Amino acid sequence: MPKRFKLTLIAALAFAAAGSTQAVGLDSAGYAQNFDSLGSSGTTPPAGWSMLIGPTGTSNTTWATTISDSGVAAMVATAGALTAVTGPSANNNNGYNAALAGQTTDRLLATAPTTVSGAAIQLSLTNTTGASFSQLLVSYDTQRFTTATTANQLPGYWLFYSLDGISWTNVAALNPTLVEVPNSVGVSAVRNSLVTLAAPVAVNHAVLLRWVDDNAQQTSPDQIIGLNNVSVSAVPEPAAGLLMLAGLGLLPFASRRRRG
């Protein structure tokens, strides 16, 4: 078997194991998803999205104080469909197509893991910008559905990324606290946060983003949270930016200004 084909096969198997079923393009205009296309009865995540849970053998005390990169790498695809619901109030390892009580059109993906380490919502993006990039601007909302009586879990979603579907890296700067994602009903927002990747993502290569929700240590059901209004844009590499300026005919002008 040719080496190049082997590497392609390994990468494909890795992405399949990571729970990614279909990547979507990340072009120069960026990518956005508000999940409203699910409607009030959709049971399948949008293209590029998938749901995962901690493997058998983990428990609600696996991530008592932190979520490990290796633990995130071990997560597996859920076995069932999303549950379409308004105002989720129970644990569900397959995840929810959810909305707040009293309205139906503003949909989102929600998690409420039980009996395992946690759950995750994953987005698989393919670089279709026409140039490599090593940084992303990321925005998203964390919807808090229920009020927890105690701080019995790590609050909100921890964001991880992978460039190969095998190893995962936590974006530690975005790890939420109870101040940012309190045990109450409401919305916490992350806006245009810069994520620097460990290596550039070449054209037609993929980057995976995984929002991880740990399982609570004590009461059940614990605080139920959801992900909404996600947007991702690539920050071009410096060389690509210079080429863009050259294409616009601005480089000579900039050079003259520096000499002056």
CB atoms under 10 Å from CB of 13, counted, come to 12
The confidence score (pLDDT) of residue 188 equals 96
Q: What is the chain's mean pLDDT, rounded?
A: 85
Which residues touch 93 (CB under 8 Å, ≥6 apart)?
53, 78, 113, 114, 115, 116, 119
Residue 45: both structure tokens together = 């995540």
- pLDDT, one tens digit per residue, over 10-67 is 444 444 444 445 899 999 999 999 999 999 999 999 999 999 999 999 998 899 889 9
- pLDDT, one tens digit per residue, over 70-87 is 999 999 999 999 999 999
pTM for the whole thing?
0.85
Whether the Cβ atoms of residue 117 and residue 153 lie closer than 8 Å to each other: no
Measured CA to CA, the distance from residue 100 to residue 119 in angstroms comes to: 20
Judged against a pLDDT cut of 70, whether residue 219 lies above it is answered with no
Measured CA to CA, the distance from residue 193 to residue 33 in angstroms comes to: 17
Q: Which residue has the higher pLDDT, 58 or 257?
A: 58
- pLDDT, one tens digit per residue, over 139-178 is 999 999 987 655 667 889 999 999 999 999 999 999 999 8
Q: What are phi and psi of 60, to 5 degrees?
A: -75, -5
